[in-house]
Chain A
Amino acid sequence: MATEKTKSGGLFKGLGITLGILGHTIKDGANTVQYPHEKETPPIRARGVIGLHEENCTACMLCVRSCPDWCIYIEGHKQLAPPRRAGGKPRQVNHLDRFDIDYALCMYCGICVEVCPFDALFWSPEYEYSEPKIADLLHDKNKLGEWMETVPEAPELEAGAQKK
């Protein structure tokens, strides 16, 4: 009999909870926001989109090779740059011709950002770049460069952390 009592007690408790939340929503509003009119700011480290800092990229292809989805396309060529010091030899550098990320394939794992040895790739919390056509999700290096403007300042290091 005792278990029977607690069982039916639980039934009323359940009804009370749903009614309580109903009242709470009427009085204080919902926990959700009405998205297109009202936006939540994503956390500073949110993985929205990847921005490219083109000057840092050496077309080393590390990101391309580490990408599990093969969604990064890099093409480049070698060219001669003026010497560092007067009278020196001209330097040979890699010039970036193409840097595309296909966001239709990207799974936002962030391995490319991690693996980049020259700090050319950054996460941006920007997330509104859906397209009616799937082919338009291929962002070229100009577009990836534009995303760089939305990359937030790196947060302060925690106390005691070593800066590399």
Chain B
Amino acid sequence: MNLLATEIPYWGQSLLRVLGGLVAVLLPAGTIVYLFLFKMMSFMQSRLGPMEAGPYGSLQLVAEVGKWMQKEDLVPEEADHRIFKMAPLVVLLSTFLLVVVIPFGPDAWFTNFSVGIFYGLAVASVSVLGILIAGWASANKYSLLGGLRAAGQLIAYELPMVLATLGVVIQAGSMNLQEIVVTQNTGEIFGFGGLGNPFILTQFIGFLIFMIAVQAELTQAPFDMPIAESELVSGYMTEYSGFRFLIFFIAEFATAGVFALIASVLFLGGWGIPFEWFGWDSVDDVDNWMNLVGPLIMFTKMLLLTFIIMWVRFSYPRFREDQLQTFAWKFLIPVALANTAITAILKVAF
């Protein structure tokens, strides 16, 4: 965005950033819902999914949104009205705050934060607050239980996520996402720079832990205990209907997209292609067309990662509550700690 800074006044830049943020959040969300939730899940169950609205049901999402917008804005009588209405917005807000740090190209970023990933992980946990107050304000025991479960799960899985990220940060030597991308694409594997050095190769364990933690953060199956419909109706979303439910729904899949984007920045080389291909040395040498190709590369990587997230979601039954906590505290966190320690030792040694 800053390459336009000379020509466009501040309000114009802000407008562009807002529009860019909307696209970066809503486009992945829509694509994930249609491509994976509607079509891939159906195909995995040997059915076709929505076929009536538009060619191959591609306008189904528009129809669904229209349906939700028409519904009455119901608030339970005993609920804490103001908080109840606020909760979905808080959850969606954390998604929008999260997308801000992701670089989409050499100049195509919203903010170039020096502690980008730190900020990202911190804002990602704001959604816990939204979920918790949604569960509490609904004045419904199922909602409350779902909210508490979600809070417990999200806090438990935030730790392995942070620790897995730490390995990448140690190896890249920076918390700035842009620099993490550049480090990966200028990296060399034993003197061979044609592939760059995407951290998925050196931090494979970290990548696995990160993806498992993302799965849990998104409360996708097998970690969907907070909205376990067979025991909690729909958890913290039980009392929500109409467009407030729609906001929860968008937030769920937009966050999936944004986390996939972050994972592709941290582990798959982000927007970059190995700089050696075109003889670039640093991020300043990168040609301008990467600002257009970069977002496409990011989008492709995002689709690949969300494919894995959704594939796992549609294949596995859910964890029991105690198994879920045990898995995080007794397995993921020790492994992530060991990974971090080994990365640090190797970083110092070489």
Residues of A bordering B, CB below 8 Å? 11, 14-15, 17-19, 21-22, 24-26, 30-32, 34
19 of the cross-chain contacts (CB-CB < 8 Å) are A14-B315, A15-B311, A15-B315, A18-B44, A18-B315, A21-B43, A21-B45, A21-B46, A22-B44, A25-B42, A25-B43, A25-B44, A25-B46, A25-B47, A25-B48, A30-B46, A31-B47, A32-B46, A32-B47
Contact across chains for A34 and B44 when beta carbons are under 8 A apart: no
C-alpha spacing A21/B41, complex, angstroms:
10
Q: Which of A11, A15, A22, A30 has the most CB of B within 10 A?
A: A22
C-alpha spacing A19/B311, complex, angstroms:
8
Interface set, chain B 29-46, CB cutoff 8 A to A: 40, 42-46
**Which residues from chain A contact B278 at a C-beta distance below 8 Å?**
none
Question: Does B16 sit within 8 A of A, measured CB to CB?
Answer: no
Chain B contact patch, size range:
10 to 19
Residue of B whose beta carbon sits closest to that of A28: B46
The smallest beta-carbon distance between A156 and chain B, in angstroms, is 34
Closest 4 pairs (CB-CB, A-B) = A25-B43, A31-B46, A32-B47, A18-B315
**A30-B44 contact in complex given A15-B311, A19-B311, C-beta closer than 8 Å:** no
Residue of B whose beta carbon sits closest to that of A25: B43
**Which residues from chain A contact B43 at a C-beta distance below 8 Å?**
21-22, 25-26, 30
Question: Does B312 sit within 8 A of A, measured CB to CB?
Answer: yes
C-alpha spacing A11/B44, complex, angstroms:
16
A21-B44, A25-B47 known; 18 new pairs, CB 8 Å cut-off, are: A11-B316, A14-B315, A14-B316, A17-B315, A21-B46, A22-B43, A24-B46, A25-B44, A26-B43, A30-B43, A30-B46, A30-B48, A31-B47, A32-B46, A32-B47, A32-B48, A34-B48, A34-B51
